[in-house]
Amino acid sequence: MLPPPTPVRIACMNNSTFGEHLRVWRKLRHLSQQGLAESADLSARHLSFLETGRSSPSREMVLRLSDRLNIPPRERNNILEAAGFAPMYKTSALDAPEMRAARHSLNIVLKSHMPNPCLVMNGRYEIVAMNQAVGVLLSGAHPALLAEPVNVVKFSLHPDGLGSSIINYPQWRTHILERLARQLESGGDSHLRSLIAEVRDYPFPALRDNRSGKEYDAPGVLLPLRLRSASGILSFISTVTIFGTPHDITLQELAIETFFPADDFTAAVLARRSADASTSCPIPA
């Protein structure tokens, strides 16, 4: 079992000062004041004054430090507002008129990946769209886990969800928790921390063949997701795609996960299922 992720940063509240935000992000990136000052081309004394509130930053300085600290767009808006400036990025609803091109692109991706399962999730790992092939992953789950919005992480690891069907559950669980821990370390919020705490407490599903799961270690460079299904054992490898140049927080936080067949048997099962499935667009244009 993985140790709990180190709480490197405290949650920055809405009333935090610019200096408090700056100090938290500097420590999160494991930088000294001198190190950050050198990379941002200012003196350590000036940086110290910014953190303590003895000096106020210009908007250009806020953006420069945000770039050096690789602060995500949502948190970059927060730090700009804390410094007294207007936010830089919009947060639009996915069904907003200005998001029509993005919706069209997502629909193309979802349809083009048929017959392979493909889904779109937001920054909280909630499914916002999916193609018909995802049904092979959702079948047999407890209805409570399928109530919208479906959380991919909870569904994957809960014994009443996909967890009970995953043959290599211990390895897949470790893979997901490590992925979440890396995201938390890079600047995840309190929602992510709560999600990690919840899924870490999920009981391991009983392995039907009474094996520990060690026999299913992947021999290659990719960890497959191996599932029991009514059609037989299915094996997938997954990829995650993001928008390349988003200027909207909603788009920046979207991720498209696709599950490709890792063997010929899985490919054949997906092809048969696709022959009877609708491929209509899951997002209204």
The domains of the chain, with CATH numbers, are: 18-82 (1.10.260.40), 97-275 (3.30.450.180)
The pLDDT of residue 206 is 74
Average the pLDDT over 63-90 and give the result: 95
Instruction: Show the tokens assigned to 6.
Output: 């180190």
**Pairwise pLDDT comparison (222 vs 262), residue with the higher score:** 262
The pLDDT of residue 210 is 42
pLDDT at 273 over 60: yes
The pLDDT of residue 283 is 64
Start-to-end CA span in the chain (Å): 44
pLDDT at 3 over 60: no
The pLDDT of residue 205 is 84
The pLDDT of residue 220 is 60
pLDDT digits (tens, 9 = 90+) for 168-214: 999 999 999 999 998 888 776 788 999 999 999 999 987 544 444 44
pLDDT at 12 over 70: no
The whole-chain average pLDDT of the chain stands at 87
pLDDT at 70 over 80: yes
Residue 280 to residue 182: CA distance in whole angstroms: 35
Instruction: Show the tokens assigned to 22.
Output: 């700056």
The runs of H, that is alpha helices, within the chain are 18-28, 33-40, 44-52, 59-69, 73-82, 100-112, 135-138, 152-157, 169-185, 190-200, 249-252, 264-275
pLDDT digits (tens, 9 = 90+) for 226-270: 999 999 999 999 999 998 888 899 999 999 999 999 999 999 999
Read off the DSSP letter of residue 126.
B
Average the pLDDT over 102-112 and give the result: 96
Average the pLDDT over 111-138 and give the result: 95
pLDDT-wise least confident of 67-76, 122-131, 178-187? 178-187
Read off the DSSP letter of residue 245.
S
What percentage of residues in the chain have a pLDDT greater than 70? 87
Residue 178 to residue 196: CA distance in whole angstroms: 10
- CA angle 269/271/277 to nearest 5° reads 105
pLDDT digits (tens, 9 = 90+) for 79-103: 999 999 999 999 999 999 999 999 9
pLDDT at 35 over 80: yes
pTM: 0.82
